Amino acid sequence: MKTNYFEKLEFNKIKEILKEFAITFIGKNIASNLIPYTQKSEIEKARNSNN
């Protein structure tokens, strides 16, 4: 995904807020390394795995 989309979505701000809720270093690390899905197939696979 292009960087300007991350900026428009303020994705870094979202990750920082999420990191504040994480208690452990591992949780903070996972939150820091999150990236959004860019392919429809990835989204559908993730959605179906949560059912």
pLDDT in tens, 17-44: 999 999 999 999 999 999 888 899 999 9
In angstroms, what is the C-alpha Rg of the chain?
13
Q: What is the pLDDT of residue 20?
A: 95
Confidence category of residue 9, pLDDT binned at 50, 70, 90: confident
Q: What is the pLDDT of residue 37?
A: 86
Considering only CA atoms, which of 15, 13, 43, 50 is closest in space to residue 29?
15
CA-CA-CA-CA dihedral for 17, 20, 21, 25, to nearest 10? 130
SS3 26: helix
Q: What is the pLDDT of residue 38?
A: 83
**Mean pLDDT score, 9-20:** 93
The domain segmentation of the chain, as residue ranges, is 3-49
In one-letter notation, the amino acid at residue 34 is: L
